[in-house]
Structure 1
Amino acid sequence: MNSIVTAEYSVPDFGELVEVAPGVLWLRMPLPFDLDHINLYILDDIDGWVVVDCGLGNADTRAVWEKVLTGLLAGKPVKKVILTHAHIDHIGAAGWLCRHTDAQLWITAGEQRTAGEYFQLKGADSEYFTATTKGFLHRLGMDDKQSEGIMGIFTGISTLIHPLPENIQALQEDCVITVGNKDWQIIISEGHSEAHACLYSEELGVLISGDQVLPRISSNVSVRPARPEANPLSAWLDSLSRLTRLPADTLVLPAHERPFYGLRGRLTALIEEHRQTLIEVEQACSAPLTVMQLAGLIYKRELPLFNLLLAGGECLANLNYLLAETRVHRQLNDEGVLVFSRSLNQSG
């Protein structure tokens, strides 16, 4: 059960601003996906502005930023750009915005490493990146046509991020950034991405949650080709548990959908949802399954190619979690594809 309460703010049109807390402005940017928007937040720093997340690095996003910078934010400079994480809809326009405004970029070291992967298809490491990624997709059980299609998607994604500036400041766990006269604590969470940063203001009772906590959908938690043995689901569940320490009346400002109250209830629901999925995955492995076979059982519908990649990465995250708990075991079949089976010592 989802026990959230949507905050009573009007949803801004693209390029408009709504104040959701003193000195905290909500800005929406368009996305050309099923999820058609991203929420960005702008903090009043008295003699300037601090931007949290940036949108895609495409013409539509730049046009909205130009409107905002020359209109609603005119008169004070953008001093800092803070990124919650390195997914393309958050980081894409960051390099352009920093160069356009001479702002300093702030991002965790883990997310900066992830950002570097976007440029590997164009650089000296392109052959290694391609071979590594195709090998990963093959082990999931994808065929050559699917693999080639996904590599094409990666190439397209890489065109939606501007190169990052050289002047980068590393965000660290529990560091405090003062904006205006308000302190914002950095809370780093693993799982949805390498080192996702949330911003929490105790004085305002506000959490800028990025993709870590969304009101109605669960963030994708996937194993990535760069770290095929990782256990991101364990890290993500731990990070959700840590956020339950925040006050029950915290106003949550997510990257998608609408601001809401009910943080603890939403965290509990997310944790329980994933616990149930783990049980479902473990039971499905009563017969040996590849990751792609499991994805077909779990999602029960035909998925577009990119969503199939997300589904496969998420299924592998569940399997790696169960593998760490010895609830499943794995082997490579004769075609070099991973096959997972429920451990013999599991019953029920």
Structure 2
Amino acid sequence: MTTIPDIKDWNEEEITRVRISMAPPLRWVNSYLLRGPEGITIIDPGPRTETSEAEWEEAWHELGILPQEITSIVLTHHHPDHYGLAGYMQSLTGASVTMSRRAHEESLRMWGKDSMMCEELPRLFRRHGMPAIWSEQIAEHLDGFIPQVTPSPNITYITEGSYVCMGGRNWLAIETAGHAPGHLSFYDIERGIILCGDSVLPQISPNVSLLPGSDSQPLRSFIDSLVKLGELDVKLAFPGHRNPFSHFAERTNGLIKHHEERLLRIEALLQQSSQSGFEICTALFGNDLGIHQMRFAMSEALAHLVHLVDQGRVVEKISPTDAGMILFSSIK
């Protein structure tokens, strides 16, 4: 028996949220549905699994929607829990699928037929001290996402500064990179409403990852995005996970402070001794993690370390005892 997904309407804002199941620890992703004269738009349909396909069938039934009434699928970014169902849903509905060009490029870098991420990411992690017991799990772990993002959709590109008509209103596309290159948020200036994807989340901090061939300074991109978002007059934010919230500027400032504090903690660890990225990772997050969380933790630790190097607070060097492994040292 299929569980009917949690569906909630914000009548004043004319937004419907459909919670779609995903793997722990987040457990569900927020998909949003907006109805307007142009048709029905779905934002971030979720990962493709048997469960999520069934949940959408139940949601359409509950909402009285026929698949062919869906005219547009809009993606904030390329991560499987947001992007994954887009191609499958496009094949069912004939809807256009839109995202930024950079986000599409990132999807191909991660999930495309010519992707080398299964080789490049373990290699990067090994250079930063990750033991083989972990790095040898990465390729199989990444391959496990392929069914969640298949088939690939045909993409129409959105550029920052353009307006997207959803729910009969024009939403300003704002690039909010850091959590994911090419991430877009959508801002209704008139009403002060933002669909912010994973750029700002209540209660939890969005992951910021260093990945091979991608953004070389993702934490800088993330902080720049938070500063930009914090200047907006937002009355209500609809995030990719957890519940809509009104303390948007406060939350952007809190996330900036969180990362500033983490940078100081890493700097203090490196003042004690030179350490590898993996040593910093386990000092911050421990090692009682599954491979999914370890990948996020390692990539996030590296994002902070390269940010400190870029700021001139930390230097990289090659280990004198383990050729090829990179160590980080505080300059203080």
TM-score scaled by structure 1?
0.89
1:206 aligns with 2:193: yes
**2: CA distance, partners of 1:97 / 1:40:** 13
What's the CA shift string for 1:20-52, capped at 9, x where partnerless?
543211111111211111111111122520110
1:96 maps to 88
Alignment of 1:68 onto 2:81: no
Write the deviation string for residues 172-206 of structure 1: whole angstroms up to 9, x where unpaired. Answer: 11111123431101011111001111111122321
Between the aligned partners of 1:258 and 1:16, the Cα distance in structure 2 is 12
CA distance in 2, matches of 1:21, 1:289: 53
Q: Residues of 1 paired with 2:126 and 2:198: CA distance?
A: 28
Match of 1:170 in 2: 157
Contact 2:4 2:55 in 1 (8 A): no
Which of residues 98, 101, 104 in structure 2 aligns to 1:109? 101
SS for the counterpart of 1:79 is strand
Partner of 1:186: 173
Structure 2 residue 298 is matched with structure 1 residue 319? no
Does the Cα contact within 8 Å between 2:5 and 2:59 map onto a contact in 1?
no
Structure 2 equivalent of residue 215 of structure 1: 202
- Using the aligned pairs only, state the percent identity: 27
For residue 226 of structure 2, give the secondary structure of its aligned residue in structure 1: helix
Secondary structure in 2 matching 1:132: helix
Structure 1 residue 237 corresponds to structure 2 residue 223:
yes
What does residue 148 of structure 1 align with? 136
**CA offset at residue 134 of structure 1?**
2.5
Displacement of 1:15: 5.1
- Matched to 1:270, the amino acid is L
Q: Secondary structure at the match of 2:122?
A: helix
Deviation at 1:13, TM superposition (A): 6.3
Higher RCO (C-alpha under 8 Å, 6+ residues apart)? 1
Question: Which SS does the other structure have where 2:63 is aligned?
Answer: coil
Relative distance call for 1:201 and 1:335 in structure 2 (3 A) is same
- Segments of 5+ residues of structure 1 without an aligned counterpart are 1-11
SS in 1 for 2:149: coil
2:124 aligns to what?
136
Match of 1:7 in 2: none
CA contact (8 A) 2:122 2:138 kept: no
**Superposition pairs for residues 234-273 of structure 1, below 5 Å?**
234-247=220-233, 250-273=235-258
Q: Distance in 2 between matches of 1:323 and 1:307?
A: 24
Q: Distance in 2 between matches of 1:48 and 1:324?
A: 46
| DSSP-derived class of the 1:160 partner | helix
Q: Matched residues in 1 for 2:81 and 2:50: separation?
A: 13
C-alpha distance in 1, partners of 2:262/2:87?
38
Q: Tell me how far apart the structure 2 counterparts of residues 192 and 169 of structure 1 sit (CA, whole Å).
A: 22
Aligned mates of 1:165, 1:23 — CA distance in 2: 27
SS in 2 for 1:235: helix
Deviation at 1:304, TM superposition (A): 1.8
329, 339, 346: which one aligns with 2:327 = 339
* TM-score with structure 2 setting the length: 0.93
Q: In 2 relative to 1, CA 267–119 (structure 1 residues): closer, same or farther, beyond 3 Å?
A: closer
- Is residue 34 of structure 1 aligned with residue 25 of structure 2? yes
Q: Quick one: distance in 2 between partners of 1:250 and 1:143? A: 46
Question: Aligned AA for 1:339?
Answer: L
**C-alpha separation in 2, matches of 1:18 and 1:135:** 46
Instruction: Judge conservation of contact 1:40–1:52 (CA < 8 Å) in 2.
Output: yes
Aligned residues: 326
Cα drift, residue 218 of structure 1: 0.4
Partner of 2:262: 277
Q: SS of 2:136's equivalent?
A: helix
Cα 1:219–1:180 change in 2 (3 A) is closer
Question: Per the alignment, do residues 219 and 106 of structure 1 end up closer, same or farther by CA in structure 2, a change over 3 Å counting?
Answer: same
C-alpha distance in 1, partners of 2:300/2:86? 27
